[in-house]
Amino acid sequence: MMNFKKYRPFPIIDLPDREWPKKMIVHAPMWCSVDLRDGNQALPIPMSVAEKMEFFKLLLKVGFKEIEVGFPSASETEYRFLRELIENKMIPAGITVQVLTQSRKHLIEKTFESLQGAEKAVVHLYNSTSELQRRVVFNKDKKAIVDIALEGAALIQESAARAKDVRIVKEYSPESFTGTELDFAVEICEAVMDIWKPTPQNKMIVNLPATVEMAMPNTYADQIEWFLKHIKNRESIILSLHAHNDRGTSVAASELGLLAGADRIEGTLFGNGERTGNADILTVAMNLFSQGIDPGLNFADMDRIVEVYEKCTRMFVHPRHPYAGELVYTAFSGSHQDAIRKGLSVYEMEKPEYWQVPYLPIDPSDVGREYEAIIRINSQSGKGGIAYIMERNYGFKLPKDMHPEFGRVVQKITDEKGEELKPETILELFKKEYLNLNTPLELLKYKTEEKQDLEEKENIVHIEATLRYQGVERSVKGTGNGPIDAFFHALSLIGVPGFKFVSYEEHALSEGSDSKAVSYICLENDSADKMYGVGIAKNITTASLNAIVSSINRFGKYGK
């Protein structure tokens, strides 16, 4: 057994009057991407300047207004990247870059040196405040930890005053906030506020990181609400969140933190970051989108976003990643496929105000995905999904009673191969099963003559056909009330077994004057076995006769 007794539960936050559970998110927060810093530092191979530049352009295209570009005092690559952005005037108007620094004099000086020439920047100061880090890492009491923060805050205040050409927005993080006593978190943040003196017109950012996710997301929300109820001058701060994903709930923690009163979220695309990563901004934003809220970020070209991300980070996006994964709009299960197929049909027919399709929380086309990829066929798939593929990809609207018949054909192959079948393979199976059979019967040519007796209200059709039956070419004639009836009569004269006509459906296979017609005809033999046949031709009569031949040949194929 795993030794669960070595762990203890996180204490409940004393917040009996909590308000966040009754609230709703009604607008998007401010977003800050930390891909180029927090995400980058967690990569086995950090991005080069060129890769960071390509990623920066992607973030701009998505619509981020605040982008943490690096830790310029930590490495030459970080410094050069920021300088290249500034010197080449690659930071568009309205975009704020953010830089991180520890509370050390030489690091802060280097940070401000890197920002020379920028129009606006967030300078983000942090130091760790949790009880565990104070005791184990720093061996310092609370006062010594506050002094570290105050020293850095004072240095930033002085440097910002000298950097008259750059508008500096100040941000402070009590790192490892989730492990910090709440009253101490308020104390150290207020001490920094006393130096920076924010106002409602010139706010500072207070960032409360779940540097390590230590409890359920509702606990994080309680911590945020408690903090906001006790911090002074709430109207002078922008309350920011930075959740990590150690428990796998950073998205939920961020959402509940917004309910608790947060204004801003820091995170990364696809949740990249140390250990289990950061909160995934893409998922949080798309969750808002799925609730009818404008996220303020544009993920309409999801495949391109995935492509750039994977190229620059050398990471990969999981096939089941929410909204972006290769398979998230895909159904293999037969019941899921049937529900999606029916849901899409109703949606396209009724065109309701709101999106409602089973198993699809959003319209895949909103993120640049195509409907053709929604249903994919393997051994778990059903007849409805196969019919969907045939209609969506190739225009064949199979009659409902034909779905299980062709479904069994496909199922046999998927069971044998044990792998997914591509649409083109399904089409080839369809052709082999219905269209390319020419034994024992083959229609070589035919002509019809129609006579009408208006007084008797009769329609008489004569047909002359050349057939090859059981390897012998024959010329036959038949008469009936239509081409199909006349053809049946002609077949009976050469010994083709009798069949009962069950059903007939036809449609144009494509639009336009040169489109082909497809005909589906179901026949029944003396043993009450039913078999569909399919015929294709530019002429509907030819298509129908081909469908009869197809059905008869399929009876022969299966020995019925």
Which amino acid is residue 384, in one-letter code?
G
Q: Can you give the pLDDT at residue 226? A: 98
Q: Can you give the pLDDT at residue 457? A: 63
pLDDT, average across residues 298-313: 98
Q: What is the pTM of this model?
A: 0.85
Beta carbons within 8 Å of 521's beta carbon, 6+ residues apart: 484, 501, 503, 504, 532, 533, 535, 544, 547, 548, 550, 551
If phi over 0 gives left and psi between -120 and 50 gives alpha, with beta otherwise, what is residue 101?
beta
Q: Which range among 16-30, 457-471, 529-543 shows the weakest confidence by mean pLDDT?
A: 457-471
Length of the chain, in residues: 560
Identify any residues that bridge with 169 across adjacent strands, giving them in sequence order: 122
Q: What is the C-alpha separation between 414 and 383, in angstroms, rounded?
A: 13
Helix (H) or strand (E) holding 144: helix 142-162
Q: Can you give the pLDDT at residue 78? A: 92
Q: Can you give the pLDDT at residue 383? A: 87
Beta carbons within 8 Å of 349's beta carbon, 6+ residues apart: none
Q: Can you give the pLDDT at residue 512? A: 65
Q: Per-residue confidence at 1, pLDDT binned at 50, 70, 90?
A: confident
Q: How far is CA 409 from CA 382, 386, 412, 424, 454, in A?
A: 11, 10, 5, 15, 47
Q: How far is CA 13 from CA 17, 187, 279, in A?
A: 11, 17, 22
Flag whether pLDDT at 560 surpasses 90: no
Q: Per-residue confidence at 333, pLDDT binned at 50, 70, 90?
A: confident
pLDDT tens across 467-482, in order?
A: 999 999 999 999 998 8
**Can you give 58-120 as a three-state secondary structure string?**
HHHHHCCCEEEEECCCCCHHHHHHHHHHHHCCCCCCCCEEEEEEECCHHHHHHHHHHCCCCCE
pLDDT tens across 32-53, in order?
A: 999 999 999 999 999 999 999 9
Q: Can you give the pLDDT at residue 168? A: 97
Q: How many CA atoms lie within 13 A of 491 on its CB side?
A: 22
pLDDT tens across 216-247, in order?
A: 999 999 999 999 999 999 999 999 999 999 99
Rg of the chain taking only CA atoms, in angstroms:
35
Q: What is the C-alpha separation between 535 and 533, in angstroms, rounded?
A: 7
Q: Can you give the pLDDT at residue 553? A: 95
Flag whether pLDDT at 452 surpasses 80: no
Q: What is the DSSP letter of 422?
A: P
pLDDT, average across residues 193-210: 98
Q: Can you give the pLDDT at residue 257? A: 98
Q: What is the C-alpha separation between 102 and 488, in angstroms, rounded?
A: 89
Domains of the chain listed by start with CATH number: 28-313 (3.20.20.70), 334-435 (no CATH), 441-557 (3.30.160.270)
Q: Per-residue confidence at 456, pLDDT binned at 50, 70, 90?
A: low
What letters, b where the CB count within 10 A reaches 16 and e where it falls short, cover 428-445?
ebbeebbbebeebbebee
The residue with greater pLDDT, 341 or 195, is 195
Q: What is the C-alpha separation between 328 and 344, in angstroms, rounded?
A: 16
Which amino acid is residue 43, in one-letter code?
L
Q: What is the C-alpha separation between 510 and 517, in angstroms, rounded?
A: 8
pLDDT tens across 68-118, in order?
A: 999 999 889 999 999 999 999 999 999 999 999 999 999 999 999 999 999
pLDDT tens across 111-144, in order?
A: 999 999 999 999 999 999 999 999 999 999 999 9
pLDDT tens across 503-549, in order?
A: 999 999 876 666 899 999 999 998 999 999 999 999 999 999 999 99
Average predicted confidence (pLDDT) for the chain = 94
pLDDT, average across residues 304-325: 97
Q: Can you give the pLDDT at residue 455? A: 62
